[in-house]
Structure 1
Amino acid sequence: MNLLEKASKINLKKYHYNLSEDRIAKFPLEKRDHSQLLIYEKGNIKHQHFYDINSFLPENSSLIFNNTKVIPARIHFQKQSGAKIEIFLLSPIKPTPEVAQAMLVKKKCVWHCMIGNRKRWKTTDTLERFFESDYGKIKVTASYADYEQNQIQFEWDNDAVPFVEIVEMMGSTPLPPYMNRSATDEDKPRYQTVYSKNEGAVAAPTAGLHFTEDLLNDIQEKHSIHELTLHVGAGTFQPIKTENVLEHDMHCEQIQIEKSTIEFLAKADNPIIAVGTTSIRSLESAYWFGVQLINNETDSFHIKKLYPYELGYENLPNKKDSFQAILKFLNENNLDTLHGDTEIFIFPGYKFQVVDGLITNFHQPESTLMLLIASFIGDDWQKVYEQALKNDYRFLSYGDSSLLLP
């Protein structure tokens, strides 16, 4: 039985645990690094606080951070009738699907969105809002570019203002649905890592929420820090509803990795610690793109959800060779940044090619991220989560953290 045949028989109920509402962290702690930290190392578990993490990282580790920046993706309009419409930005379509470029577009753009109270917004209706800003009064309109596909066209009457500033003026923090509350002023800085840079995520890379500037400085005295960007999409919260997990519609997310990070990965011998599941998905996806380049399969960085399993794990290049192939690709094309996207679906049976350790929060039962954790530490995920529940850890985005060292 090959890997995909085995995966098709995965019993999702095996990756269930009882997560009661009172265990979900609805608000952040007063101090970011005072969260609890569960350390799992080769089957052993200990409990610390996140501000202690520096002492428990493997010697001379390299931490890879996702520096995406959450945009206030929930945008509200009110019709003259009084009906309130919520537009949740998902991904840009026109004039560019590239998130970084789309945030800088002026005058007009089209995004794929989720629509709240959609039945009250007719296809012919145009929504309007007005703002006082440093640029003067701005009028913003929203209309359907494609009703069936939930594609929304935004227009604004000041060609000096990029879309990112329109969103900052209009939007609110896109808290996950399981928090079941409206965003507050406190959420704007707290649902954001202190090292966030590149706007485009609609959900935070929550493993990074525990770091402070002081803690990062302390870590750099003993370890190295590198960055990449994966713009986290709302699909990260999409539950698995299919009996065969392989049929789950895996979300696609955009990745950017600077050439300097690729150069480091092409020669690294020290332990690689991914800060968050988004970083681990980015690093593993980049490895598979290097494999594709070596095999002359493509020159487009797009990793389909089942590519590693379809290719198999026989005669694979090592990590250094894969990243050297990417470095050669960047040099030949005079590129300073690797741009691509990934649908990679990591579940038990996957063999990690790049990452040695993972810093991550505690995830929803029976989710794609729960399967990723199970693939990383095997059945010991049950022991980890039992210990977290027993010791009153807080769960999900604003919850506590873990350091997993298989």
Structure 2
Amino acid sequence: MKKRRLTNLDPLLTSSYHYELPEELIATHPIHPRDHARLLVYDRADQSITHARFDALDNFLPRECGIIFNDTKVIKARLYGHKESGGAIELLINRPHDAYAINVYIKGRVRSDTRLIFDGDLSARVIKLYEDGSRDVNFYLRKTLIRFEELLPILEQVGHIPLPPYLGREDNSEDEREYQSVFAHYEGAVAAPTASLHFSDELFEAVCSHHPHAFVTLHVGSGTFKPVEAEVITDHPMHSEYFDISASALELIHSNIPLLSIGTTSTRTVEYHARTAEHHGE
């Protein structure tokens, strides 16, 4: 197979996508009300650009338009603790492999069988190391092995909201409410589907009253925080994420009505189904 020659502006080169983003333009705290965020509208018909506010979204939607939302719910996936032998560690849950083996990322050197201690009588034991830097662990409550669904309420007490690293700050009590969509339902994401965060209860209800809508679930994994460090984009190791498409979403997707997917998580779920016909899995 003939190797493709890459130029400086080749779309496969990571460097082709470099742009300057001044730090002062990164919103490090949410706006109130959440639907007052700015909205840029590009009209493909006349190539015009309109600067509006997100609560005006329905004014720009076609009358005939179905909407797909991602109803994943962010868990408090970040834990701070220490090794049994001493030494601080930070653990970020990625996803469960099964009921007991939980894939995580750990800041701090650990070996297989290392025991990690957290608040609330919670501990973990490293059971497997992977080349991508992730680890599998078992979690224990007072030395009793627990399942992932038993871990979730404990995380509510001792875990932290896993804010994106580019925000450059620690989470606070406000983030427990604001870093969650108003229609979040199924727990499992370690990052929010951020386009969804701009919907207030009022805007969500208004949009849904005017348009047919349905939900998919895509549990955003911690790989979403992983920067693309490969020189060629296709060399970047992609992570997988769990998804499930509801029966009502399948019906809407297979109808003839034009669709709007809210954000990249809903979009890639719908696109993956279009390519594979799968409606749940990885």
Letter of the structure 2 residue corresponding to residue 46 of structure 1:
T
Counterpart selection for 1:15 from 17, 31, 38: 17
Q: C-alpha distance in 2, partners of 1:147/1:61? A: 46
2:83 and 2:114 in contact (8 A); partners too: no
Q: Secondary structure at the match of 2:173?
A: coil
Long gaps (5+) in structure 1: 97-101, 103-108, 132-138, 291-300, 302-337, 342-406
Q: How does 1:201-280 map to 2 (within 5 A)?
A: 201-267=189-255, 269-280=256-267
Is 1:143 the equivalent of 2:131? no
Letter of the structure 2 residue corresponding to residue 32 of structure 1:
R
Give the TM-score normalised by the residue count of structure 1: 0.62
Is 1:59 the equivalent of 2:63? yes
- The more displaced of 246-255 and 143-152 is 143-152
Letter of the structure 1 residue corresponding to residue 271 of structure 2:
E
Structure 1 residue 239, shift from structure 2 partner: 2.2
Structure 1 residue 287, shift from structure 2 partner: 0.5
What CA RMSD, in Å, does the superposition of the two structures yield over aligned residues?
Answer: 2.6
Name the residue aligned to 2:93: 89
Long gaps (5+) in structure 2: none
Q: Provide Cα deviations, 1:158-217, integer angstroms capped at 9, x if missing partner.
A: 779822112222210000111111100111111110100111111100000000111111
Q: C-alpha distance in 2, partners of 1:221/1:146? A: 49
Q: C-alpha distance in 2, partners of 1:5/1:288? A: 26
Change (3 A) 1:18 1:194: same
Q: C-alpha distance in 2, partners of 1:184/1:129? A: 19
- The more displaced of 142-151 and 196-205 is 142-151
Q: How does 1:98-113 map to 2 (within 5 A)?
A: 102=99, 109-113=100-104
1:63 and 1:223 in contact (8 A); partners too: yes
2:84 and 2:115 in contact (8 A); partners too: no
Letter of the structure 1 residue corresponding to residue 281 of structure 2:
G
Give the TM-score normalised by the residue count of structure 2: 0.87
Q: Secondary structure at the match of 1:172?
A: coil
Q: How does 1:282-301 map to 2 (within 5 A)?
A: 282-290=269-277, 301=278
Change (3 A) 1:260 1:124: closer
Q: Secondary structure at the match of 1:162?
A: helix
- The more displaced of 215-224 and 41-50 is 215-224
Structure 1 residue 84, shift from structure 2 partner: 2.3
Q: Secondary structure at the match of 2:252?
A: helix
2:68 and 2:249 in contact (8 A); partners too: no
Q: Provide Cα deviations, 1:126-180, integer angstroms capped at 9, x if missing partner.
A: 233453xxxxxxx322111124552211112477982211222221000011111
Q: Provide Cα deviations, 1:216-247, integer angstroms capped at 9, x if missing partner.
A: 11112321221101111122232222222221
Q: How does 1:122-133 map to 2 (within 5 A)?
A: 123-129=112-118, 131=120
Q: Secondary structure at the match of 2:195?
A: helix
Letter of the structure 1 residue corresponding to residue 266 of structure 2:
S
> Which 4+ residue blocks in structure 1 deviate beyond 4 angstroms?
4-9, 79-82, 121-125, 157-161
Letter of the structure 1 residue corresponding to residue 49 of structure 2:
I
Change (3 A) 1:216 1:145: same
Q: Provide Cα deviations, 1:37-87, integer angstroms capped at 9, x if missing partner.
A: 101120221011111111111112111111100111001213577632211
Q: Provide Cα deviations, 1:369-401, integer angstroms capped at 9, x if missing partner.
A: xxxxxxxxxxxxxxxxxxxxxxxxxxxxxxxxx
Q: C-alpha distance in 2, partners of 1:68/1:199? A: 6
Q: Secondary structure at the match of 1:195?
A: coil
- State, as a whole percentage, how many aligned pairs show the same letter: 35
Q: Secondary structure at the match of 2:57?
A: helix
Name the residue aligned to 1:154: 139
Q: How many residues align?
A: 271
Q: Secondary structure at the match of 2:280?
A: strand
Letter of the structure 2 residue corresponding to residue 273 of structure 1:
L
